[in-house]
Structure 1
Amino acid sequence: MPSHAYFDWNATAPLRPEAKAAVVAALEVTGNPSSVHAAGRAARRLVEEAREQVAALVGATPREVVFTSGGTEANALALSPALGDTLLVSTIEHPSVRSGGRFATVEDVPVTGIGVVDLAALEGLLQGRNRPLLSLMLANNETGVIQPVAEAAALIHAAGGLLHVDAVQGPGRIACDFKALGADLMTLSSHKIGGPQGAGALIVRDDLAVDALLKGGGQERGARAGTENVAGIAGFGAAAEAVRQGWAAEAARMAALRDEIEAGIKAVVPKAVIFGAEAPRLPNTTLFSAPGMKAETAVIAFDLEGVAVSSGSACSSGKVAPSHVLAAMGVEPEFARGAIRVSLGYATSGEHVGTILNAWEKLANRLYKAGNHQEIAA
């Protein structure tokens, strides 16, 4: 675990002890899981055990689990013209979805000012469509705002289309049931739940077939060619099993800590803004800003105090750029430029909360010192 106060769990969760043990054990297995000899069968058993664990995490069947190298590949695998003639995506989707996969173009579904997809606009966009494919995340990685996925599923299915759900931020934080949500495809990521990086999965409804991105082998029932990452998959499975047990109590604990952080932020700077606070959110996520604050400066200031936070999504090669999520929500540029994401996990403690609030008070005191935006902090 990081020795400092780590508040960037939405970017990556530290490796769980159970996952680490599974990875180490799997590295001792030398067989190729496609081989029929004893060593190959041993590797295959690890993969299939993990498939069962990942399926159980989201209420799917093992046959519906296609292992990938991570969430980005799973999203690209799902976004195929073989599954629809038109691709609709919300304006707050992850960049790997907004890129459109194998579709030449994407059509935007707007969101409201609190970051929730506009279902009325979606219904209008579905009129007259032939085989539409909708990609809608379960919860936003920046704001934590939970999307009305089941309601969107009803609309897309009534229009004769399919729904892909990017659910990488969901497991371990909120209920994440493949069938209850009405999803036809669902993306998961190992390292978001405390498994190793480099493993993920696309859950594919049993009666659907995806058009493989990687061809040339029969692995993953023809959906993804290439020798499976046995150690990564084993760690993914172990993390999935650990998350599945007792996640609800852990989510309630994180929500209490998150609320304490938000109260502390507002106590120091009453004019600070918590984005998406009016909507249902993940229990572990806060995205906030304050007048006059710049995200790049704030991230460094927190880091110097031993606190790891981010300026939003961590999928831009370390670049600090304006958030497309906040732009879609209509947030004023002054506040968008200062947005800081704080995300918690199973190892976040009350002591960590004290550390980040102390760091915030120091930052705010420097930012709003006498003669410099003094009126803002009051």
Structure 2
Amino acid sequence: MSNQDQRPVYMDHAATTFTKPEVLAAMEPYFSRYFGNPSSLYRFAGEPRKGVEAARGQVAAALGATPGEIYFCAGGSEADNWAIKGVALANHKRGDHIVTTAIEHHAVLHTCEWLEKQGFSVTYLPVDKFGRVDPGEVEEAITGRTILVSVMAANNEIGTVQPIARIGKIARDRGVLFHTDAVQAVGAVPIDVDAMGIDLLSLSAHKFYGPKGIGALYVRRGSRLENLVHGGGQERGRRAGTENVPGIVGLGRAIELATADIEGHNRRLAAMRDRLIRGVLDAIPDSRLNGHPTERLANNANFSFRYVEGESILLMLDARGIAASTGSACSSASLEPSHVLLATGLPHEEAHGSLRLTLGDANSEEDVDYVLEVLPDVIGRLRQISPLTPPAGKKVQEAE
């Protein structure tokens, strides 16, 4: 099949998803027909207020929470900032120590770094070669000054799923609040905040076929949390700003759809993912799978290819109609590869040659076929021109 005949293949669902038609349909009335400010007292506020509260109930049901524990915000990054800064500022008289991991999203890591400048102490736990943190090391890191443990539910780059329930129990037994960045996990991993011992949880709608610019923070009732955004009495006085009613309604509908049949959805994605992984590793020498082989998100396939740069792979795939991403930060003016891959022990040169392919509802078996047709050729061409590729004779001699 020629590139002209092949429709574009989107395999970057971990970055963002499209908004489903059912979600758009739920949102549409709140742009024009029910446009009132839900925090006002007049009749125009009635329907918008109902829409917001219905969505709050949908989010709570998906997490095993109560509606009063759900607060809407602008997205996952704000929710992470609010959870970590909010706990730190509200509890600083009791303690000044936070425990997290080396592979968190930058919304967590940069927030922790900011708090260190304010006098807080942060322990960044290592992970194993698969990207998993040891719950025992979490327990050992907790001190009498620890006020928060923050461990992501599933990694956005390599897809590794963390033992959240075990960590939550440890934190609860030690009397420490537990936050999880579940931006990649909601809709992909069943979540029950009570059973998993979660006190705060961040999520973002555009990761599970909802609109961009809207997220939520779950806060267990009774948890001490300082406000992050000041200025008004919205969200029961916890988060200022006129409510994004269409976005909130879209978030509610999207999370309802995403959690309706997680097991069935994962079966379909995992079948394509596993075929993709086998095909890439079989067809391309000097390639490896990053992340845990089984405890990983059903849609995630992250590879490293020796002797090539991730940015070059992306550009050549894009020219063939395939959208993907890389752990290398070359395109963001940094020469450093992914902090996640380095934390797993991958050498710099291999971490630079990484590729993340994340499947979703936009994909079909034909898309997998096309990637398996194109990717080996792309890697082969790049290796031919790469100064890092060893001469063929030398390579054969080393292999012997």
Q: TM bucket by the smaller chain?
A: over 0.9
Matched, 1:287 2:299: no
User: What's the CA shift for 1:131?
Assistant: 4.1
The yes-or-no answer on 1:68 pairing with 2:73 is yes
Counterpart in 2 of 1:122?
138
**Pairing of 1:140-179 with structure 2 (within 5 A):** 140-179=155-194
- One-letter amino acid of the counterpart of residue 272, structure 2: L
* C-alpha displacement of 1:317: 5.9
Report the alpha carbon displacement of residue 300 of structure 1 after superposing the two structures with TM. Answer: 0.5
Q: Is the 8 A contact 2:308 2:383 kept in 1?
A: no
Distance in 2 of aligned mates of 1:108 and 1:370: 39
Pick which of 338-347 and 273-282 moved more.
273-282
Structure 2 CA distance for aligned equivalents of residues 193 and 319 of structure 1: 29
Aligned partners of 2:167, 2:147: CA distance in 1, in Å?
12
1:22 paired with 2:38, answer no
Pick the aligned partner of 1:10 from 11, 14, 24.
14
* Cα pair 1:268 1:364 within 8 Å, conserved: no
TM-aligned CA deviation for residue 227 of structure 1: 0.7
Distance 1:231 1:312 in 2: 33
Root mean square deviation, CA, Å: 2.3
| 1:360 and 2:360 aligned | no
Name the CA distance, whole Å, in 2 between partners of 1:210 and 1:218: 16
Give the conservation status (yes or no) of the 8 Å contact 1:138–1:146: yes
Deviation for aligned residue 1:271: 2.5
Farther off after superposition, 211-220 or 181-190:
211-220
Question: In structure 1, what is the Cα distance between the partners aligned to 2:252 and 2:224?
Answer: 23
Deviates more, 1:161-170 or 1:76-85: 76-85
Query: Which of residues 109, 112, 116 in structure 2 aligns to 1:98?
Result: 109
| Per-residue deviation, 1:23 | 2.3
Distance 2:149 2:254 in 1: 29
TM-score normalised by structure 2 residue count: 0.88
What does residue 269 of structure 1 align with? 284
Larger radius of gyration between Structure 1 and Structure 2? 2
1:289–1:335 contact (8 Å) kept in structure 2: yes
Distance 2:148 2:83 in 1: 10
Task: State whether residues 116 and 279 of structure 1, in contact with CA within 8 Å, keep that contact through their aligned partners in structure 2.
Answer: no
| Shift in Å, 1:318 | 8.6
Q: Sequence identity of aligned pairs in percent?
A: 40
Counting helix residues as a fraction of each chain, which structure ranks higher? Answer: 2
**Is 2:58 the partner of 1:53?**
yes
Q: Does 1:251 align with 2:266?
A: yes
SS in 2 for 1:172: coil
Cα deviation for residue 52 of structure 1 reads 1.0
1:270 positional shift = 3.6
Query: Which has the larger displacement, 113-122 or 46-55?
Result: 113-122
Q: Which position in structure 2 is the counterpart of 1:87?
A: 98
Deviation at 1:208, TM superposition (A): 1.9
Normalized against structure 1, the TM-score is what?
0.93
| Equivalent-residue separation in structure 1 for 2:179 and 2:332 (angstroms) | 26
- Residue 100 of structure 1: SS of its match in structure 2? helix
**Aligned length, in residue pairs:** 374
- Output the CA distance in 2 between the equivalents of 1:244 and 1:283: 14
With 18-27 and 220-229 compared, the bigger mean Cα shift is at: 18-27
